[in-house]
Structure 1
Amino acid sequence: MKIVYMGTPDFAVPALDALVAAGHDIAAVYSQPPRPAGRGKKLMPTPVQARAEALGLPVRTPLSLKGAEEQAAFAALGADIAVVAAYGLILPQAVLDAPRLGCLNIHASLLPRWRGAAPIQRAILAGDAETGVTIMAMEAGLDTGPMLAEVRTPIDGKTAGMLTDELARSGAALMVEVLADLSAFPPRAQPEEGVTYAAKIAKQEARIDFAAGAAQAERQIRAFNPVPGAFFLLNGERFRILSAGIEAQGGAPGAIVDDRLLIGCGADSIRPIMIQRAGKGAMGVEELLRGYPIPAGTKLDPVDA
């Protein structure tokens, strides 16, 4: 097929590779514009733009698709279909209608659960037992279009980073399978029941609320790994917890229960395993405590301070 591919982050790279490997004709790759990054604030291409250029594919990075000129340029590609994966820009109706077979989206949830911007993180935070990828025919609503196929996977203690990698690969394989025989995947309407929305992650959500209990704190740690990183403050300094376990011992929320950084969460506690001080590399808790003892009885900075 002649395909326009539209994607931006690392999640969208495996599908581009898979479509190229399957022999499809990629007429153009759309990605969000380069943005300043790093200490020098140098303009950096998105992961999808960088990969497309490495593959020798034509890349377009418009700020918006709302203008008539951009829409005409998109239509002029004469694509059979557009494949979209975490592109991040709204597709106007003129764009949705331009490809002969419409636009298909790789969405990282089991629709209609977790429509929206952050489905992987929201599934972890909610304690969902499983998640997956849905191939959806796009329409004007927010992830409301009919579904063609899905693949499921247990969450089972995985971090957002692990799930992102896994779902990117499985979504890529599923999209190739769907495009190989579209007639075998008739669209079906999403159920009206079970709709939830995955709002964009706000930075303040990454601060761990130990009063919510150890189970929820551990979900925060997994949901925000690798970014933005779940953290607590001690004497105004930020400590990111990269991995942790739950222990049955109780303790006052936000208080250090023992000399090995067990953190009280009420009826139970969180035991950090890997941790990162601001400006430092990741390290085991034992290594941290050798250079920065945090004795039992220490109280972390309160969340509502």
Structure 2
Amino acid sequence: MRLAFMGSPDFAVPALEALHAAGHEIAAVYTQPPRPAGRGQRETPCPVHRKALALGLPTRHPVRLRRDAAEHEAFAALALDAAVVAAYGLILPAAMLEAPRRGCLNIHASLLPRWRGAAPIQAAILAGDRETGITIMQMDEGLDTGAMLLSGRVPIRDTDNTQVVHDALAALGSELILRTLAEPPPPVPQPEEGATYAPKLSKADGQLNWTEDAAGLARRVRALNPWPGTFFRHDGQPVRVLDAVAEDCPTIAPPGQVLDDAPRIACGHGRLRLRRLQRAGRAAQDAEAFLRGYSLPPGTLLA
């Protein structure tokens, strides 16, 4: 089948690899443009771009697609059977959605209609969902509102962070898109009942609010690991929290107070035991090793 692949981050790489290995003709790989990265701020291609180059596939990385007639014409000229989209990062206009014979198929990282939007994996963990999954969707002009073609489920365990769930979903997505292309399932319209939205995250979302309950904070630590990460402030400096566990124990201490040398922190309800921490410019450490080089005595009030 003659395809275009449209994706950018690590999540999309297994699907591109699977399509290529299965013998599909990939006429073009669309990715986000290279951007400055690292200490030297050198122009760096995204993961899908790098993989496409390694596979010898032609790449395109337009800055924008809307109102760009030349891009629309170039896409139509590919004479595609379908386009596969996975976390591409640009909205496809109607002219491109309608160009391939079978349209554009999206590998979405949730069980639609739950968690439409930019950060479905993080949203599922934050909400305490016990499972999530992949939905292969026939794209339309709405925000993840197209008809559902195929889906698969992945459990979310109490210890899973976003990276763990991400990797499981990326692998599942590569399997489901091959099945969808091989034997097209009938489209099923999404019900509006139960639809939820997962907004884009920012670094500000990572600051821990100690007035919240400990269970919710533990989920936030897992959901925002590896990006954007969670943190608290002490002496005006951020300290990253990479692993933590909630303890449902009553405490009369004010939220944010360090309770002991574990360290455990008082929350709005319960307490949060910090298990892995990192200072700016330093390596991540288990809490015991971290506290040997960083003073956080009981009674300290964290921001």
Common topology (TM > 0.5): yes
Residue matched to 1:64: 64
1:73-94: per-residue Cα shift (whole Å, max 9, x none)? Answer: 0111111000000001010000
Unaligned runs of 5+ in 2: none
In structure 2, how many angstroms separate the alpha carbons of the residues matched to 1:236 and 1:133? 41
Deviation of the 1:260 alpha carbon: 2.0
Who is 2:87 aligned against?
86
Which deviations, in whole Å up to 9, do the C-alpha atoms of 1:16-72 show, x marking residues without a partner? 000011110000000010011111110000100000000000000001122111110
- Does the Cα contact within 8 Å between 2:75 and 2:96 map onto a contact in 1? yes
After superposition, give the CA deviation of every residue in 1:206-238 in whole Å (9 maximum; x if it has no partner).
Answer: 101121110110011001100111110001111
1:59 counterpart letter in structure 2: T
Moved more, 111-120 or 292-301: 292-301
State the match for 2:195 in structure 1.
195
In structure 2, the residue matched to 1:284 is: 286
Equivalent-residue separation in structure 1 for 2:3 and 2:213 (angstroms):
48
CA distance in 2, matches of 1:247, 1:134: 35
Q: CA deviation at 1:247?
A: 1.8
Equivalence for 2:217: 217
Cα contact 2:137–2:146 (8 A) shared by 1:
yes
Query: How much identity, in percent, do the aligned residues show?
Result: 56
2:101 corresponds to which residue?
Answer: 100
In structure 1, what is the Cα distance between the partners aligned to 2:5 and 2:269? 50
The alignment status of 1:12 with 2:12, answered yes or no, reads yes
Specify which of 168, 177, 180 is matched with residue 178 of structure 1: 180
TM-score w.r.t. length of structure 2: 0.97
Deviations 1:231-274 (A, max 9, x none): 10001111111111112332421000112211111331111111
Deviations 1:153-196 (A, max 9, x none): 111121111111110010111111111111xx100000120011
1:238 is matched with 238
Give the Cα separation in 1 of the matches to 2:260 and 2:274.
12
Using the size of structure 1 for normalisation, the TM-score is 0.96
Q: How does 1:1-305 map to 2 (within 5 A)?
A: 1-66=1-66, 67-157=68-158, 158-182=160-184, 185-249=185-249, 250=251, 251-301=253-303
Number of positions where the alignment pairs a residue of Structure 1 with one of Structure 2:
299
SS at match of 1:132: strand
Distance 2:183 2:294 in 1: 59
Contact 2:214 2:248 in 1 (8 A): no
Q: For the aligned residues, what is the CA RMSD?
A: 0.9
Write the letter of the residue equivalent to 1:68.
A
CA contact (8 A) 2:202 2:228 kept: no
Secondary structure of 1:210's partner? coil
